[in-house]
Amino acid sequence: MTPDEFREYGKQVVDWIADYLTNVESLPVRAQVAPGDVRRALPEHPPEHGEGFAEILADLDRIVLPGITHWQHPSFFAYYPSNTSGPAILGDLLSSGLGVQGMLWATSPACTELETVVVDWLAELLGLPAHFRTDDAGGGVIQDSASSASLLAIVAALHRSSGGTIAQAGLTGRHTLYVSSETHSSLAKGARVAGVGAENVRIVDVDPKTLAMDPVALDRMLAEDIAAGAVPVLVCATVGTTSTAAVDPVRAVGEVCRRHGVWLHVDAAYAGVAAVCPELRSLHDGVAEYADSYATNPHKWLLTNFDCTVMWVADRTPLLGALAIHPEFLRNAATSTGAVVDYRDWQISLGRRFRALKLWTVLRWYGAEGLRAHIRTGLAQAAKLAAWVAEDPDFELHEPQTLGLVCFRPRWPGRKPEEADAATLRLMETLNDSGALYLTHTKIAGRVVLRMALGGTRTEQRHVEAGWRAIRDAAST
């Protein structure tokens, strides 16, 4: 493709995206295809001869688009939002255009130094402690996902708890991790990948009302495990759990960790970015004093398209001790001075995209006040929806309702719990099949509840109202 062809088709692609985002509201939210439909519509063999870009775009419309679930639809209320925004898309496009591999400072100094600046900026915006800054003992780094951040926290914690021997000698003895029933499954996956083993992931009780980890139960479990010869490695506290946005008491959990010498990882994948609003800084209570690592996802609720998880460590020594490896082919003068950051030592893979560009374009385009306005819009929509649910005698609201997530279920009077749960799931499928909105479910105390997550870039109050109306109408028929 010549530069002129690129310019021509590039403009078409940008127009295509702009039209898509303008019109996405008119499309069914959830893809309306059956398994195999998209695959069958695609040729079985790759083309022998190159094709025109117009034909590729036509197939995008004809084959790909019908098989897309529209995460950017204003009535996408499923999972947690996966925000995009104009500046983020353009930042990502610039990253693709530059095609940089930022594995070492030397392979593109601006890729590294811009990342250092934007993660330090974000730490400041979220009220995170000064020691998370790269010019202090710790530092931040952009990972692809919160799951990778959790795995890296486990790896760094294993390094520290073994006194640095694990990298060479491997795991010996029983190492344990501590989560709650509400912790994201990525911790269990991380335990498998790191070789800790799923059996050694210990499930700490939660408060039955708030679903937050019980620090007293954690303390007891740690003491018992230590007495039985286990080596506790890491506790994961969550700020904004996946099911209900519950917030673990980081300070109290951190005090327990400190007493037992265990690494505290704070998974704030969804909720951490909300702390751009000063009134939500209490979400981070205890992080400054106790967190060894912390991760939040601008790619969920902060207008930055996937993938962009920012992970900070209070002390970078264990992370680098676990991961830094210096093969001959990567040796270079800048690294040997020790004066530069080489982010390949802060992640699993060697190669890395220039993700900082999209976070930089977002932070600069919106400014702190624009980011706060976005979070506050989602919070206000959720509060309004929660109030409607609470006022409706046919529905039960899960309380405490937290941040941008509202969990609720129809009461289905006269039905047994299993029948009511089945009816709630059927209701959700009917709504999702309609294409008008997209919801997911979870279980609280064994009962099915619907989750409606607000905070989409394009979600307005009218979409929340229409969604709630659709749910009530479907439940009453």
Closer of 105 and 301 to ligand PLP (Cβ): 301
The total of other beta-carbon atoms located within 10 Å of residue 34's CB is: 8
Closer of 219 and 248 to ligand PLP (Cβ): 248
The span from the CA of 106 to the CA of 336, in Å, is 11
Q: What is the dihedral of CA 254, 257, 258, 260, to 10 degrees?
A: 160
Is residue 456 helix, strand or coil? coil
Closer of 182 and 219 to ligand PLP (Cβ): 182
Contact 284, 315 (CB under 8 A): no
CB of 434 to ligand PLP, least distance (A): 24
Is residue 53 helix, strand or coil? helix
CB of 235 to ligand PLP, least distance (A): 15
Contact 306, 148 (CB under 8 A): no
Contact range with ligand PLP by CB under 6 A, out of 11-19, 124-132, 173-181, 267-275: 267-275
CB of 269 to ligand PLP, least distance (A): 4
Give the end-to-end CA distance of the chain in Å, rounded to a whole number. Answer: 56
Contact range with ligand PLP by CB under 6 A, out of 218-226, 265-273, 328-336, 359-367: 265-273
The full length of the chain comes to 477
Can residue 432 be called a binding residue for ligand PLP (CB under 6 A)? no
- Options 176, 293, 309, 457; binder of ligand PLP; rule CB under 6 A: 309
Contact 167, 322 (CB under 8 A): yes
Beta bridge partners of residue 365, listed in sequence order: none
Contact 471, 431 (CB under 8 A): yes
CB of 391 to ligand PLP, least distance (A): 28
CB of 238 to ligand PLP, least distance (A): 5
Closer of 271 and 386 to ligand PLP (Cβ): 271
Quick one: 476 exposed, middle or buried, by C-beta within 10 A (0-12, 13-18, 19+)?
exposed
Closer of 143 and 432 to ligand PLP (Cβ): 143
CB of 462 to ligand PLP, least distance (A): 26
**Integer CA distances (angstroms), 368 to 121, 273, 305, 307, 385, in order:** 10, 11, 18, 21, 26
The span from the CA of 341 to the CA of 375, in Å, is 32
Would residue 176 be called left, alpha or beta, if left means φ above 0 and alpha means ψ between -120 and 50 degrees?
beta
Contact 287, 248 (CB under 8 A): no
Contact 145, 307 (CB under 8 A): yes
- Options 77, 132, 270, 438; binder of ligand PLP; rule CB under 6 A: 270
Contact range with ligand PLP by CB under 6 A, out of 239-247, 258-266, 337-345, 355-363: 239-247
Q: Which residue has the tokens 């609470």?
A: 390
CB of 306 to ligand PLP, least distance (A): 8
Total number of residues binding ligand PLP (CB under 6 A)? 15
Can residue 269 be called a binding residue for ligand PLP (CB under 6 A)? yes
Contact 225, 256 (CB under 8 A): no
- Options 248, 267, 342, 345; binder of ligand PLP; rule CB under 6 A: 267
Can residue 305 be called a binding residue for ligand PLP (CB under 6 A)? no
Q: What residues numbered 127-156 form the site for ligand PLP, per CB under 6 A?
A: 145-147
Compute φ and ψ for 73, nearest 5 degrees. -70, 140
The span from the CA of 30 to the CA of 35, in Å, is 13
CB of 193 to ligand PLP, least distance (A): 13
Can residue 238 be called a binding residue for ligand PLP (CB under 6 A)? yes
CB of 186 to ligand PLP, least distance (A): 5
Can residue 347 be called a binding residue for ligand PLP (CB under 6 A)? no
What is the contact mask toward ligand PLP in residues 171 to 210, using x (rule: CB under 6 A)?
A: -------------x-x------------------------
- Options 72, 161, 162, 297; binder of ligand PLP; rule CB under 6 A: 297
Residue 454 is classified by DSSP as: -
Q: Which residue has the tokens 């460590």?
A: 313
Can residue 71 be called a binding residue for ligand PLP (CB under 6 A)? no
Q: What residues numbered 80-119 form the site for ligand PLP, per CB under 6 A?
A: 80
Can residue 301 be called a binding residue for ligand PLP (CB under 6 A)? no
Binding positions for ligand PLP, rule: CB under 6 A:
80, 145-147, 184, 186, 238, 240-242, 267, 269-270, 297, 309
